[in-house]
């Protein structure tokens, strides 16, 4: 079943997800519907938050070469490590038509569970790492427009510090 995707500024998008403690039949159905919804919208990933579910899970299409889609269900993801930084354009199904340059790690390793409650380690680089981080952000109630604001703010602080140094050296 194709689910309704919550669009910004719906406050649901700011909710922090709750860990999945049991992989019930409902979780299976939700994951299945989320995959269908992601693929029918040409999305690279979709977080449960975006379909009004409070559960900490997302789906991602790990086929990046345009071949047959390879959807993957990621439950209770936790970031183990991240490396490097890269700025690239990204979009979000909750913000149709908006594409923003966002800084993300170049490489990430996450720990998660799959639908069979098996522990899984997911290593992702480039576009896939970006998608993983974007979806984990959704589960933490963080939107990509806030990532832009964060960089801008950090740069603004650097400028202010620099200007302070200039005035002190006068």
Active site residues: 135
Spatial contact of 74 and 57, defined as CB atoms under 8 Å apart: yes
Q: How far is the CB of 93 from Ni ion (least distance, A)?
A: 6
Q: How far is the CB of 152 from Ni ion (least distance, A)?
A: 20
Query: Is residue 5 a contact point for Ni ion (CB under 5 A)?
Result: no
Spatial contact of 41 and 71, defined as CB atoms under 8 Å apart: no
| Residue placing its CB nearer to Ni ion in the complex, 8 or 86 | 8
> 17: which residues sit within 8 A by CB, 6+ positions away?
47, 48, 49, 54, 55, 56, 57, 139, 140, 141
**Per-residue mark of binding to Ni ion, 76-95 (x: CB under 5 A):** ----------------x---
> 32: which residues sit within 8 A by CB, 6+ positions away?
none
Q: How far is the CB of 8 from Ni ion (least distance, A)?
A: 9
Question: Which residues of this chain interact with Ni ion, rule CB under 5 A?
Answer: 92
Q: Which residue ranges are tagged as binding site for Fe cation? A: 92, 134, 138
């Amino acid at each position: 079943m194709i689910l309704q995707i919550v669009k910004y500024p719906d406050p649901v998008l700011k909710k922090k997800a709750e860990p999945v403690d049991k992989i019930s039949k409902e979780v299976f159905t939700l994951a299945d519907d989320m995959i269908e919804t992601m693929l029918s919208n040409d999305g690279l990933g979709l977080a449960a938050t975006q379909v009004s579910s409070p559960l900490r899970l997302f789906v991602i299409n790990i086929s990046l070469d345009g071949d047959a889609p390879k959807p993957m269900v990621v439950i209770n993801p936790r970031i183990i490590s991240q490396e490097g930084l890269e700025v690239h354009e990204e979009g979000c199904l909750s913000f149709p038509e908006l594409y923003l340059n966002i800084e993300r790690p170049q490489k990430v390793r996450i720990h998660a569970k799959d639908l069979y409650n098996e522990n899984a380690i997911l290593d992702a680089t480039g576009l896939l790492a970006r998608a993983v981080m974007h979806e984990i952000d959704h589960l933490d109630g963080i939107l990509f427009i806030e990532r832009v604001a964060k960089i801008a703010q950090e740069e603004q602080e650097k400028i202010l510090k620099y200007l302070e140094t200039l005035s002190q050296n006068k």
